[in-house]
Structure 1
Amino acid sequence: MYIKHEMLIRCLFSVLEIVKMFKTIVIISLALMAAAAYTEHKSHNNHHLSSHHRNAHRELHVHLHVHQEEDHHHSSDHEQCHEAAAEHFAHCEVRPNSLLSDSVHQIHGSIKMSQKGHGPLTMKIGLSGFNVNAESNHKHGFHIHEFGDLSNGCDSVGEMYHVRDSGYHSHSGDLGDLFHDEYGYVNDTRSFDWISMDHHDGILGRSLVIYQGNHSSHTGALACCIIGRCHGH
């Protein structure tokens, strides 16, 4: 009887151990399932947030790009409008050719230039000192030359100025003839639509030369000056 009772107790303890083991296994299984579910949920949220961030970044990039394009166009339009409305001024103080100290012509005066935007360039010419007794022809060639260098009088100004995009003017630096009156004065206003002050190969820093004889058959430079930008007239 005693032996049977002891065996029964041992069986009960074995059953309790099995139950504890089963509970432990269940708890561990539940914990692993919860961890897996949490990991999957976090991964899904991260993917959603990453996609949301990518979309937001893409929208921001497009938005900024559109604004940059608009700003560029607005800036370009503003620059073009400003350039079209801007008025430029230049001045050229004419002096006799220093290499011809005994010349019968002692030409002095000023040539004032203005240009609004890309419009025609206007020259107001006021000169004196032409010797009316030295010649019967009162025509004098009037040219722009490529350099503003008077280190050797009017002989160091280089070739006649030429601008590539001068339309039908094959000799863009040839401005025709000046005509002095019976007192040796020139007071004239002229406009030229093929020369400019505002582009990279414009006339600023170059020179104006007045010749003996007309513009197509001149013999020597009588006077010259350097074209310089100024504030206004």
Structure 2
Amino acid sequence: MYIKHEMLIRCLFSVLEIVKMFKTIVIISLALMAAAAYTEHESYNNRHLSSHHRNAHRELHVHLHVHQEEDHHHSSDHEQCHEAAAEHFAHCEVRPNSLLSDFVHQIHGSIKMSQKGHGPLTMKIGLSGFNVNAESNHDKHGFHIHEFGDLSNGCDSVGEMYHVRDSGYHSHSGDLGDLFHDEYGYVNDTRSFDWISMDHHDGILGRSLVIYQGNHSSHTGALACCIIGRCHGH
């Protein structure tokens, strides 16, 4: 009888051990399942956030790129408008050619220039000192732009006649025609030239203006000259 009770007790303990093991297995399984579910959830969130960040970065990049292009176009348009509206001024103080020995003509005066944007260049010419008795054809004097603003050797160190590469139908772009003085030896004239400019790389600033004996196509010596310089206004 005692032996039967002992066997029954051992069976009960065995059943309890099996139940404990089963509970442990169930708990471990549930824990593993929960961990797997959490890992999958975090992975989904990371993928979603990464995609969201990429899309946000792409949208930001596109926005910045478009904004920069708009700013560039706006700045370029603003510069072009400013350049087109800007007015530039220059001045040339005329003096007799220091190499002349007889000083028959004592030409003095000023030539004032202005140009708005890319429009025509205007010259206001005010000169005196032409000797009206010095020659039979005294009222015509060639008027040229020359390439250098160098008067170290009078009007003979100014180089060749100025030439603009894109001067259209003006094959001799530095030839500005003739000056005509009145019976008292004065020149007061205003002229416009659409093929010369003062505000680009091959403009007339720093070059020279020369007034010749005789007309612009058959002139001889230089009577007077000056250097073209920028100024604030007139």
TM over 0.5: yes
RMSD over aligned Cα, in angstroms?
1.7
Give the aligned partner of residue 225 of structure 2: 224
The CA distance in 2 between the partners of 1:151 and 1:32, in whole Å, is: 99
The CA distance in 1 between the partners of 2:97 and 2:79, in whole Å, is: 41
Higher mean alpha-carbon deviation, 147-156 vs 108-117, is at 147-156
* 1:134 positional shift: 1.8
User: Across the two proteins, how many residue pairs are aligned to each other?
Assistant: 233
1:75-130 Cα distance to aligned partner (Å, 9 max, x none): 22222222222211111001112222533222111000111121111100011122
* 1:144 positional shift: 0.9
1:1-26 Cα distance to aligned partner (Å, 9 max, x none): 32332232222222222222222222
TM-score normalised to structure 1 length: 0.92
TM-score normalised to structure 2 length: 0.92
1:49-91 Cα distance to aligned partner (Å, 9 max, x none): 1212222222222222222222222222222222222211111
1:45-124 matched pairs, under 5 angstroms: 45-124=45-124
Q: Secondary structure at the match of 1:102?
A: coil
- Give percent identity, aligned residues only: 98
The CA distance in 1 between the partners of 2:20 and 2:152, in whole Å, is: 113
* 1:143 positional shift: 0.9
Instruction: Give unpaired runs (5+ residues) of structure 1.
Output: none
The CA distance in 2 between the partners of 1:11 and 1:100, in whole Å, is: 143
1:136-158 Cα distance to aligned partner (Å, 9 max, x none): 12311111112212222222222
Q: Secondary structure at the match of 1:164?
A: coil
Measured at CA, do residues 7 and 156 of structure 1 come closer, stay the same or move farther in structure 2, by a change above 3 Å?
Answer: farther
* 1:27 positional shift: 1.6
1:143-193 Cα distance to aligned partner (Å, 9 max, x none): 111221222222222221111111111111111111122222111111101
The CA distance in 1 between the partners of 2:15 and 2:175, in whole Å, is: 121
Instruction: Give unpaired runs (5+ residues) of structure 2.
Output: none
1:66-215 matched pairs, under 5 angstroms: 66-138=66-138, 139-215=140-216
The CA distance in 1 between the partners of 2:151 and 2:30, in whole Å, is: 100
Runs of 4+, deviation exceeding 3 Å: none
* 1:220 positional shift: 2.0
* 1:44 positional shift: 1.1
